[in-house]
């Protein structure tokens, strides 16, 4: 290996031995509630149980060697094939040590995860979003109102079994002069699609690739014409 490649490796590949030591220390301290940890892309990830979530996050926030005082985000991940299909992921930042850490906990559709609103003031907003998008419940979250979808929305749109069309259609009713919900309707006029040219029927000027339209009597005559033609 050349000296230049060594230098690039030193600059671009983060050292992980300190993360390994930190993970082992945390695993030893919280062995009963932290079954495992891993290091992915230079970041330490702690896998904890629901019962141990508050204890682990409280320690990460308050211990002088950690000081992960900022909760950057809480997000959900859906794995429908698992018994506990949801992962709740907590992203923490330590300004004191210029470090990040990730904590994961799993749950199912019926079992709530402890709310961490008492530890981090930003948590209720993120928890409401996880509830709205995935249907993940949080024990202790005072406000379970939807935050991104409408109050009458049916289902949780980021679940992988949620239909792309949704369950209901939102529209404005001229007679009632208000927004109403109704069955999903996807009407579409019959069209002949020209998959060989993205510009067919978009412009009235013949573009490269549209010559074949004149050779096919079944293609529509709207939206194109030969250069210099009528």
Same domain, 37 and 131: yes
Nearest C-alpha neighbor of 117 from the set 74, 60, 62, 64: 74
| Ramachandran bin of 167, using left for φ above 0, alpha for ψ from -120 to 50, beta for the remaining angles | alpha
- Give the end of a domain, one of 79, 113, 139: 139
- Helix/strand/coil for 49: coil
168 in any annotated domain: no
Nearest C-alpha neighbor of 130 from the set 86, 85, 81, 72: 86
Q: Are 88 and 105 in contact (CB under 8 A)?
A: yes
112 in any annotated domain: yes
77 in any annotated domain: yes
Domain count for the chain, please give it: 2
225 in any annotated domain: yes
Same domain, 18 and 114: yes
What's the predicted TM-score (pTM) here?
A: 0.72
- Give the end of a domain, one of 122, 139, 156: 139
Q: Which CATH number does the domain housing residue 42 bear?
A: 3.30.460.80
Same domain, 127 and 208: no
For range 99-128, the mean pLDDT? 96
Same domain, 98 and 203: no
Q: What is the pLDDT of residues 9-22, one digit of tens each?
A: 334 345 677 889 89
Highest mean pLDDT among 2-11, 71-80, 210-219 belongs to 71-80
148 in any annotated domain: no
pLDDT band at 152 (very low <50, low <70, confident <90, very high): confident
- Give the end of a domain, one of 105, 139, 173: 139
96 in any annotated domain: yes
CA 163, CA 195: separation in Å to the nearest integer? Answer: 26
* Token pair recorded at residue 76: 């959900």
For range 106-113, the mean pLDDT? 96
Same domain, 212 and 121: no
Q: What is the pLDDT of residues 209-223, one digit of tens each?
A: 556 555 555 555 544
Same domain, 34 and 104: yes
For range 74-99, the mean pLDDT? 95
pLDDT given for residue 6 in this prediction: 40
pLDDT over threshold 80, residue 52: yes
Same domain, 129 and 204: no
**Cβ count within 10 A of residue 39:** 15
Highest mean pLDDT among 1-15, 75-89, 164-178 belongs to 75-89
Q: How far is CA 90 from CA 75, 106, 182, in A?
A: 7, 12, 37
pLDDT given for residue 228 in this prediction: 54
pLDDT given for residue 5 in this prediction: 38
CA atoms within 13 A on the CB side of 209: 8
Backbone angles phi, psi at 56, to 5 degrees: -70, -45
For residue 40, give every residue at least 6 positions away whose Cβ sits within 8 Å of its Cβ, in sequence order, or none: none
Same domain, 22 and 128: yes
Same domain, 120 and 42: yes
Same domain, 125 and 197: no
pLDDT over threshold 80, residue 191: no
What's the longest Cα–Cα distance across the chain?
82
H-helix or E-strand spanning residue 106: strand 99-107
- If you ran DSSP here, which 8-state letter would residue 213 be given? G
Q: Are 137 and 128 in contact (CB under 8 A)?
A: no
Residue 32's domain comprises 10-139
């Amino acid at each position: 290996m050349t000296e230049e490649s060594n230098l690039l490796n030193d600059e671009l590949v983060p050292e992980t031995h300190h993360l390994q030591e930190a993970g082992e220390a945390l695993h030893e301290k919280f062995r009963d509630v932290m079954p495992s940890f891993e290091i992915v892309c230079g970041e330490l990830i702690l896998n904890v149980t629901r019962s141990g979530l508050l204890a682990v996050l409280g320690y990460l926030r308050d211990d002088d060697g950690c000081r992960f005082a900022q909760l950057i985000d809480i997000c959900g991940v859906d794995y429908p094939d698992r018994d506990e299909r949801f992962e709740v992921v907590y992203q923490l930042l330590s300004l004191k040590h210029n470090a990040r850490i990730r904590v994961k906990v799993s749950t199912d559709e019926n079992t709530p995860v402890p709310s961490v609103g008492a530890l981090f003031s930003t948590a209720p907003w993120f928890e409401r979003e996880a509830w709205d998008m995935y249907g993940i419940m949080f024990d202790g979250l005072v406000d379970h109102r939807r935050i991104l979808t409408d109050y009458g929305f049916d289902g949780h749109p980021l679940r992988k079994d949620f239909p792309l069309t949704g369950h209901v259609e939102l529209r404005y009713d001229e007679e009632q002069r208000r927004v109403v919900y109704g069955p999903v309707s996807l009407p579409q006029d019959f069209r002949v699609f020209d998959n060989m040219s993205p510009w067919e029927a978009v412009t009235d000027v013949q573009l490269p690739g549209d010559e074949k339209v004149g050779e096919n009597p079944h293609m529509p005559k709207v939206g194109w014409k030969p250069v210099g033609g009528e």
